[in-house]
């Protein structure tokens, strides 16, 4: 996967901080949101002053009151938190549209390439923190890294009001000394099993043989090992949207016929492109999938400089990936597929497009309109003509 820059941002003691903005008398004091301690229930969040007494989220309120009798207990007002959350996300959106909210007070941003706008990603992150502070009165913590998992751990470690940037290539060294429970998904049970294997730090986890982890933790073991090595290819995805659009075709007979492979890819690209435009989306990543005669399957992705929505660019990208894949593998192909992911709102900056790209987009839209009216087969374009009798899906 191409080099990326990811920000993870999380507000500090969110519910309590909102209460402190609404009532400044609460500032600098041990405050708990979750309800009155006489009532059964748990701490939603505690201010950092209260955390110094050992209070934390999910602790029974009675225990919290015993550990910190002077704490101020508040019921909380979820509607207000939601309001602040929406404003927080809107500020992030001003900085970068590639956002994946990961909770009420946290989000991932794919800020790859944004240093040219802000001088550096660190400056961008600092500006974000300043705006959130000045407009909402809240402090945020930020992690910057080449992948989501490391960015998340970095922001967590920087709390409160912090900023940690992990240089690309130094992810492993950054993670190595940390205790394993800093990794997302590693809870108390997992920590116990890891202890029995003498795994205490993320570094020792990263050095464990794959098969040992697989036998103890199943497929989650492999994910943990990759995370421990600072490897996480997962994308920053907007919520509730189709994560990808794809088409694949299994051939009646395994084939090495380049003309057939390319023609199939073209027909698939047209359908993927049409779906993309129907959703009024553009994509940043194109993925080719190839399954060989022996059922081994590869996927190859390319992140593009500019958003795509035309069949031609999807096809050309897929075709280049296919060419590379076929160079290293001599087997016949059983299945081929193409997909787009990292879907975004169309960029309206016409200057980004060369005139020919704009013309292509117009042509694609015209063909879409005809097909919407008369059916997909009403127009056969380019290489797909060779497929009339072959394609079944
Ligand atoms: P978190 O971001 O996990 O916690 P936080 O913002 O209070 O503190 P920090 O990030 O500085 O460590 O959760 C965000 C909000 O979600 C939190 O303010 C309250 C709510 N929450 C609960 O209601 N119950 C919980 O168990 C947790 C963890 C959070
Ligand atoms: Mg938080």
Among 173, 178, 175, 153, CA closest to 164: 153
CA distance 12 to 45: 10
N-term to C-term CA, the chain: 29
Bridge-partner residues for 164, per DSSP?
143
**Atom 4 of ligand 1 has which residue's CA nearest to it?**
13
Q: What is the pLDDT of residue 293?
A: 87
Please give the distance, rounded to the nearest whole angstrom, from the Cα atom of residue 103 to the centre of ligand 2: 9
Candidates 19, 49, 106, 165; catalytic one: 106
Bridge-based pairing of strands 297-308 and 106-110 is: unpaired
Among 300, 290, 298, CA closest to 265: 290
Please give the distance, rounded to the nearest whole angstrom, from the Cα atom of residue 308 to the centre of ligand 1: 38
Active site residue 106: yes
Please give the distance, rounded to the nearest whole angstrom, from the Cα atom of residue 11 to the centre of ligand 2: 4
Ligand 1 pocket: which of 41, 42, 105, 140 to mutate (most atoms within 8 A of CB): 105
Q: Which two tokens stand for residue 275?
A: 């779906």
Report CA dihedral (323, 327, 331, 336) to the nearest 10 degrees.
-20
Q: Which two tokens stand for residue 294?
A: 């022996």
- Ligand 1 neighbour 159 (Cβ under 6 A): yes
The answer to whether 391 and 249 are in contact (CB under 8 A) is: yes
CA distance 157 to 248: 43
CA distance 289 to 176: 34
Among 271, 376, 281, 368, CA closest to 314: 271
> Residue holding tokens 């041990």?
30
CA distance 278 to 376: 14
Buried b (16+ CB within 10 A) or exposed e, 337-360: bbbbbbbeeeeeeeeeeeeebeeb
CA distance 224 to 243: 23
pTM higher than 0.75, yes or no?
no
Q: What angle do CA 282, 95, 130 make, to 5 degrees?
A: 165
Buried b (16+ CB within 10 A) or exposed e, 315-336: bbbbbebbeebeeeeeeebbbb
Q: Which ligand is nearest to the CA of 18?
A: 1
Q: Given strand 106-110, what is the order of strands in its sheet?
A: 99-103, 106-110, 6-11, 140-145, 163-165
Q: What is the pLDDT of residue 385?
A: 63
> What SS3 state is found at 292?
strand
Please give the distance, rounded to the nearest whole angstrom, from the Cα atom of residue 140 to the centre of ligand 2: 8
Among 171, 161, 228, CA closest to 197: 228
Going by the DSSP 8-state scheme, the letter that residue 347 receives in this structure is P
Ligand 1 pocket: which of 18, 50, 52, 57 to mutate (most atoms within 8 A of CB): 57
Q: Which two tokens stand for residue 100?
A: 């994946």
CB atoms within 10 A of CB 22: 12
In Å, what is the CA distance from 261 to each residue of 186, 232, 253, 330, 364?
43, 31, 12, 14, 22
> Digits of tens for pLDDT over the chain (393 positions)?
568 999 999 999 999 999 999 999 999 999 999 999 988 889 999 999 999 999 999 999 999 999 999 999 999 998 999 999 999 999 999 999 899 999 899 999 999 999 999 999 999 999 999 999 999 999 999 999 999 999 999 999 999 999 999 999 999 999 999 999 999 988 888 999 999 999 999 999 999 999 999 888 887 898 899 999 999 989 998 776 567 899 999 998 999 999 999 999 999 999 999 999 988 889 989 999 999 888 888 889 888 888 888 999 999 999 999 999 988 877 899 999 999 998 888 765 444 456 577 777 888 888 888 887 777 777 777 666 666 555 444
- Ligand 1 neighbour 57 (Cβ under 6 A): yes
């Amino acid at each position: 996967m191409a080099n990326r820059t990811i920000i993870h941002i999380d507000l500090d003691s969110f519910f309590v901080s909102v209460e402190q903005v609404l009532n400044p008398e609460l500032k600098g004091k041990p405050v708990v949101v979750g309800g009155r301690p006489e009532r059964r229930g748990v701490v939603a969040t505690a201010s950092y002053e209260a955390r110094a007494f050992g209070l934390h989220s999910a602790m029974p309120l009675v225990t919290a009151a015993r550990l910190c009798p002077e704490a101020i207990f508040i019921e909380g007002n979820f509607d207000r938190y939601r309001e602040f959350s929406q404003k927080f996300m809107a500020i992030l959106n001003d900085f970068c549209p590639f956002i994946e909210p990961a909770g009420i007070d946290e989000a991932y941003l794919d800020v790859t390439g944004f240093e040219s706008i802000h001088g550096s990603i660190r400056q961008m992150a600092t500006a974000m923190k300043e705006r959130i502070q000045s407009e909402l009165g809240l402090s945020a913590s930020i992690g910057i890294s080449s992948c989501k998992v490391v960015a998340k751990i970095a922001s967590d470690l920087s709390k409160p009001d912090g900023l940690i940037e992990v240089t690309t290539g130094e992810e492993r060294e950054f993670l190595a000394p940390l205790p394993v429970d800093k990794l997302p998904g590693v809870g108390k049970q997992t920590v116990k099993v890891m202890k029995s294997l003498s795994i205490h730090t993320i570094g020792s986890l990263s050095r464990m043989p794959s098969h040992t982890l697989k036998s103890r933790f199943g497929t989650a073991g492999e994910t943990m090992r990759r995370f421990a090595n600072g490897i996480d290819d997962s994308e920053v995805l907007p919520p509730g949207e189709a994560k990808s659009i794809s088409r694949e075709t299994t051939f009646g007979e395994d084939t090495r016929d380049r003309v057939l492979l390319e023609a199939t890819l073209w027909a698939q690209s047209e359908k993927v492109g049409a779906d993309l435009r129907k959703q009024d989306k553009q994509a940043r990543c194109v993925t080719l999938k190839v399954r060989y005669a022996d059922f081994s399957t590869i996927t190859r992705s390319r992140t593009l400089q500019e958003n795509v929505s035309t069949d031609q660019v999807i096809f050309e990208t897929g075709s280049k990936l296919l060419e590379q894949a076929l160079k290293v593998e001599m087997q016949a192909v059983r299945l081929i597929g193409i997909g787009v992911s990292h879907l975004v709102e169309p960029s309206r900056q016409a200057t980004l497009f060369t005139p020919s790209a704009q013309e292509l987009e117009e042509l694609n839209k015209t063909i879409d309109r005809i097909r919407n009216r008369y059916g997909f087969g009403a127009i056969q374009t380019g290489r797909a003509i060779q497929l009339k009798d072959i394609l079944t899906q």
